[in-house]
A and B are shown apart, each in its own frame.
Chain A
Amino acid sequence: MTYDDYLDGKPVVVTAALTGGIHGKEANPNLPETPEEIAEAAAACEAAGASVLHLHAREANGERAFSTERFQTVTDAVRAATDDVIVQHSTGGTGAPTELRAEPLRTDPAPDMASLDMGPMNRGQHLTSENTRATVAALHEEMRERGIKPEVEVFNDGHLNEVLAVADDLAAPPSITLILGPGTLSVPSPRSLLHLVDHLPEGAEFTTLGFGRHQLPLTTLSVLLGGHVRVGLEDNVYYRRGELAESNAQLVERAVRIVEEFGRPLATTDEAREILGV
């Protein structure tokens, strides 16, 4: 993916990350947690132009849920509330064992895509989301067995080395999410995103995910670089400095305005399936 893709008017795939697994309504009361709330947000994001929905599940009290049963409830509700979206389940889970993190892959039907975190990420002083190579390999293997397209998550440029090491095993084209933000994520800057894009595997499609205040500028740059974009309350609870976002759809609507203002068409879900190889 290149600037030529921008010039050629390649469609942009917009992913909405609705809920996440870290913060909840204590951070933004508009963040959807129950299956009903997630389904409502999903429908609104689809109407706003998102073709991929990145899903996490929660317990009734907002705490993290990993079980197939809980994901089934969420994914059923989302599929019932939407016309045609690409359903993407998270397999992330700081501190949770690999076996539990594989459970979201076992819904019926299987998700179209699932996240595959390519390595560790520190959280504060005492906690690391480990994502050992053994964990990555186990999750990837189960995705292959179930026909699930990996959404390869690159937390920093070292993780691109990890992607390159398994690139031959990834279903074509590799669909890579470049994550820029604080701590052990890639340094959130335009130059950093350019560097990451320069080192993508041959033929890869990339989606840019900027945390917090970096979401808006890096979304814009991704559009110019021929990439795709991910927005949503999982990654950013604010609309602008000091102002909480009203909804996931509000963030999707802004991303869509940027995409259209820069002259790239928004990918339909059929186009997104073709572009991402789902």
Chain B
Amino acid sequence: MAERCQHLDYRREGDGKAFEVARAYCTVADRFVQPVTADICNARYDLDPTEHCEIYLDHHGVDGEESAGGTSDSDSVGDGEDGRKGSDP
């Protein structure tokens, strides 16, 4: 059974944004994550940060090099081009 990601934090402020209720925040990418990504971060259902999150996989690169975030949260859930959002229609 997968474990919640070690890089997950819950914050009300960060990345220039503020929320009334603390939200999932990725300390690798330094930003709030999308709700669908939060399910990966929390290892809900059969989702696993070490298997499904590009930010995690990039950060813990297979060659042992660690990078500073790299792949975006947006990329990890297949958002539309030009930064416009995709969805789970």
**Closest chain B CB from A198 CB (angstroms):** 22
A124 contacts the other chain (CB 8 A): yes
| CB-based nearest B residue for A26 | B32
Q: Which of B10, B38, B76, B79: most chain A Cβ within 10 A? A: B79
B34 contacts the other chain (CB 8 A): yes
Give how many B residues have a beta carbon under 8 Å from the other chain's beta carbons. Answer: 41
Chain A hits for B77, CB < 8 A: 22, 94, 123-124, 127
A117 contacts the other chain (CB 8 A): yes
A186 contacts the other chain (CB 8 A): no
- Could you tell me the distance between the alpha carbons of A238 and B81 in the complex, rounded to whole angstroms? 12
Contact with A along B22-64 (1 / 0, CB 8 A): 1110000001111110111000111100011110010000000
Main secondary structure of the interface of A (DSSP, over half): loop
Cβ contact of A61, chosen from B10, B31, B47, B87, cutoff 8 A? B10
| CB-based nearest A residue for B81 | A182
Q: A94-B36, A95-B45, A177-B89 are in contact. Are A124 and B80 (CB under 8 A)?
A: no
**Interface size bucket, A side?**
35 or more
B35/A127 in contact, CB under 8 A: no
B52/A237 in contact, CB under 8 A: no
Q: A126-B52, A235-B87 are in contact. Are A212 and B81 (CB under 8 A)?
A: yes
A90/B88 in contact, CB under 8 A: yes
**Closest chain A CB from B28 CB (angstroms):** 16
B1 contacts the other chain (CB 8 A): no
Q: A182-B81, A236-B84 are in contact. Are A90 and B89 (CB under 8 A)?
A: yes
**Closest chain B CB from A182 CB (angstroms):** 5
- Could you tell me the distance between the alpha carbons of A212 and B33 in the complex, rounded to whole angstroms? 19
Q: Which of B36, B39, B51: most chain A Cβ within 10 A? A: B36
- Could you tell me the distance between the alpha carbons of A266 and B16 in the complex, rounded to whole angstroms? 41
| CB-based nearest B residue for A235 | B87
B35/A183 in contact, CB under 8 A: no
Chain A hits for B19, CB < 8 A: 25, 61-62
B84/A213 in contact, CB under 8 A: yes
Contact with B along A160-195 (1 / 0, CB 8 A): 000000000000000001010111010000000000
| CB-based nearest B residue for A183 | B78
A181/B86 in contact, CB under 8 A: yes
Q: A97-B45, A127-B52 are in contact. Are A92 and B88 (CB under 8 A)?
A: yes
| Chain A residues in the interface with B (C-beta under 8 A) | 17, 20-29, 54, 56, 58, 60-64, 90, 92-97, 100, 115, 117, 121-127, 129, 153, 177, 179, 181-183, 185, 209, 211-214, 234-238, 241
8 pairs from A and B in contact (CB 8 Å cutoff)? A26-B17, A26-B31, A64-B35, A64-B38, A92-B89, A93-B88, A95-B44, A211-B80
| Chain B residues in the interface with A (C-beta under 8 A) | 10, 15, 17, 19, 21-24, 31-36, 38-40, 44-47, 51-54, 57, 71, 75-82, 84-89
